[in-house]
Amino acid sequence: MPSEKTPEGRVESILSRLRGVLPAQRPIVLHEPEITDTDRRAVDACLASGWISSIGPEIGRLEQALCELTGLPHALATVNGTSALHLALIGVGVRPDDEVLTPALTFVGTVNPIRYQGAWPHFVDCEEATLGVDPERLSAHLERVAEVRSHGCFNRLTGRRIAALVVVHVLGLPARMPELEALARRWRLALIEDAAEALGSRLAGRHPGHWGDFTVLSFNGNKIISAGGGGALLCRDPERARRVRHLGTTARRRHDWAFEHDTVGYNYRMPSLNAALCRSQLARLPRYLAAKARLHQRYATAFAGLPGVRLHQPPPGHQSNHWLPLLQVEPGLRDPLLAAAHTEGIQLRPFWTPIHHLPMYRDCPRDELPMTESVFARGLCLPGSPKLTERGEA
């Protein structure tokens, strides 16, 4: 047994704690969906109805269920979260050659739709407590580089309009939205919440979406609720909701038989089959949230007191859905731990490579990003499937 004072010994100590939480059966993947007989019956019923494409009653039922869950009045079910975010950018008026403030610590699906619009991502730093956009650091950055003119907020260095701020609720942990909303208003920025990972989370008792102009959800296969694929776009303004629904449905004008389209639109609607599966799974969300909270507590107990290791905990008032638990380790341990866990059949994952490191985004405007770099170097996502709550469960 290597000494705990060596890197090999510290890696073995962490793996030992992991083994104490996880079932013996291998492999253990990062997050896997649960498909039940109820889900199969829901999909079978959809098949039997003949409504299997992007129209049909299941879509409206899912959208209504999402409104009831989040407390937001308007929802549009989409083919994935990326398409929902693209529609959100269009909905708030992002134009070619604008800039959109966005964290560098996020999945590339947050940033690609900015380029779909011909706009430019402008990367900002995260904070340690919430992993989301740091309001104080963003405020200082805007004071240095931006100014408000009659037509909005502009980057003094590039001359481009800064049109919007996209805030990501990272790993299900809500960002500090009241402060970020106030900042967006002060600088005349549209505000979009990327809650792709945060279904069921709460901030001061409210679901993500109550601060932004639009909010994006994802139902990818690795999310807490899965439709196989799929996403949703939510908002509070009825006219904006009407417009993005029209654009996301190929901009087709309503008519009993004619195919008439009044602008360039997008074929972004979720199929009924996915909606049926998603709505069936949504009924189990409270059980999943409870199971994932128990799993998170098991991890917290297992890693308590282990030097150089910390399980990330939500700050007060931030209720996470614990989509993926985050373990922060001392510098230099992340990659050896990834390799050792992989050898054992335990799937851990580092954070996404910060977006400003990717070749197509290296030259985009950005603030200094010290916390992004630090969290990326130290962070490891642990297996988070609800089925892992009970040790030894299949």
Supply the DSSP symbol for 270: P
pLDDT of 348 above 80: yes
Residue 3: its pLDDT value, please? 59
User: What number is the average pLDDT over the span 376-390?
Assistant: 92
Supply the DSSP symbol for 351: P
pLDDT of 374 above 60: yes
Measured between alpha carbons, how far is residue 337 from residues 13, 18, 21, 324, 380 in Å? 10, 11, 16, 17, 9
Which residue in the block uniquely carries the two structure tokens 């083919």?
79
pLDDT 10s digits, 164-194:
999 999 999 999 999 999 999 999 999 999 9
pLDDT 10s digits, 239-274:
999 999 999 999 999 888 888 999 999 999 999 999
User: What number is the average pLDDT over the span 2-24?
Assistant: 87
Residue 84: its pLDDT value, please? 98
pTM: 0.95
Report the chain's mean pLDDT, rounded to a whole number: 95
Residue 2: its pLDDT value, please? 58
Residue 392: its pLDDT value, please? 39
pLDDT of 1 above 60: no
Residue 394: its pLDDT value, please? 31
Length of the chain: 394
Q: φ, ψ for residue 323 (rounded to 5)?
A: -55, -55
Tokens standing for residue 330: 């001392």
Q: Note whether 31 and 323 are within 8 A (CB).
A: yes
Residue 270: its pLDDT value, please? 97
CA 290/CA 334 separation, integer angstroms? 29
Domains delineated in the chain = 7-33+284-388 (3.90.1150.10), 37-282 (3.40.640.10)
Residue 6: its pLDDT value, please? 85
Residue 210: its pLDDT value, please? 97
CA 196/CA 217 separation, integer angstroms? 4
Cβ neighbours, 10 Å, residue 246: 17
CA 382/CA 391 separation, integer angstroms? 15
Which amino acid is it at 163?
A
Residue 247: its pLDDT value, please? 96
Name the band, by pLDDT with cuts 50, 70 and 90, for residue 393. very low
Name the band, by pLDDT with cuts 50, 70 and 90, for residue 223. very high
* 341 Cα distance to chain centroid: 25
Q: Which residue has the higher pLDDT, 390 or 104?
A: 104
> Nearest Cα to 128, choosing from 340, 344, 375, 352?
375
Q: What percent of the chain has pLDDT over 70?
A: 98
Residues paired with 126 in a beta bridge:
133
User: What number is the average pLDDT over the span 86-113?
Assistant: 98
Which amino acid is it at 320?
S
